[in-house]
Amino acid sequence: LSSRTRATSFQAFLLLPHDAYKTATTVTVSLPLSSRTRATSFQAFLLLPHDAYKTATTVTVSLPLSSRTRASSLRWRQLSHSGADRDEWAIDHIRITGSSFDRHHVINFELNLGSSSTQQSNSYDVHLEHSIDFGKTWTLVQTDCLPSSPQCTHSLLNSQYPSLLFTNWRRLTVLLTSSAVSNNTQVRWRQPTINSSNTWAIDSVYFGVQCPGFCSGHGRCSNVTGQYEGLVCGGNSDGQPCASSFIYNNKTYTSCTRDGRQGVDDELWCSTTANYDKDKKWGYCICGVCQCDSGYS
C-alpha cells in the first residue's frame, strides 16, 4: 500500500473492448477529477474575447512562472461555439521566447539629421522602429526606461532622435530586447512629419549579434567576412583567430561548435590551436566584430 503513489501505480478508468475497436476509431473521454493534476491538465491563463480580435492582431503575453518548464504544452481552445461550421478563427506566427533566447542583438549605425542652421527653424524627429509581423505593425525599437520606473535596471532613452542633437554624424548602438529578435524582424528609420526642406542620412548599418563591449564606443560593428573571418572574443587565447581545423575530445572540427557548452551558455566556440585537447586554447565565435577607429585597437 505504501508504494501506491501516483508515480508507481495506475488506476483504470476506461475499458476498451476488442470487438468495439476493430477499425481505427477516434475516442474522446473525460479524465476523472482525481487525475487532473498539473501533469495531466491545462490551466487557463488568458482569455481572448471575440470582439477584441476581429482583425489580425499581435498579442504578447507573459507565461505564468508555473508553466515555464521543458515539459509544458500550450493550446488555444474555444470554450463554446455557435454551431457546426459557424465560428472561424486562426493563429499564426507563434513565438515562445525569454531571457535564455536573448543573444544580445544590436543595431549599430551612424546618423546625420542635417546642418544646425536649417534645423533651428524646422526641427523634427526620426524614429527607429521594428516589426515582427512582416510590417503589419511597427513599434519603437527602444522605449524610455527611466530611474523612476521600478522595472528599469539602467537608464535608456527611446529611439526617437531629434534633429537638433544630430547636426553632425553620430554613431549609435541600440540593444534589442529578446522579444524583438526573430527571423521575421524588420527595422526602419521613419520621419513622422515630412517637410521637403529636411535632409538626413544613415550609414554603416549593422544588425546582428552584439560586438564585444559594444566596441567600447570607438568602432563600428561589422559582419565577419573576409579579413575578419575566424576572429574570436573571450576565452583564453588573447584574441587569436580560430584554427582552420582542430581536435576536441578526439574529434576533428572544421568550424565553430557548441559541443561542450550545452547547458553552460550554449555559445559557439572554437579552438585557436590545432589541438584543443593538448593546448586548451579557445575563444567564442562572434557574428560581429569591431572595426576600430584610428588610434584604437
Position 246 scores a pLDDT of 93
Give yes or no for residue 68 having a pLDDT over 80: no
Quick one: which of 114, 106, 107, 119 has its CA closest to 201?
114
Average pLDDT, the chain: 75
**Residue 70 binned pLDDT confidence (cut-offs 50, 70, 90):** low
Cα three-residue angle 266-271-276, rounded to 5 degrees: 110
Condensed to tens digits (0 to 9), the pLDDT of residues 76-86 reads 888 888 887 78
Please state whether the predicted TM-score (pTM) of the whole model is above 0.75. Answer: no
CA distance 280 to 236: 8
- pLDDT reported for residue 291: 61
- The answer to whether 180 and 130 are in contact (CB under 8 A) is yes
Name the pairing type of β-strands 105-112 and 125-131: unpaired
Section 227-236 average pLDDT: 59
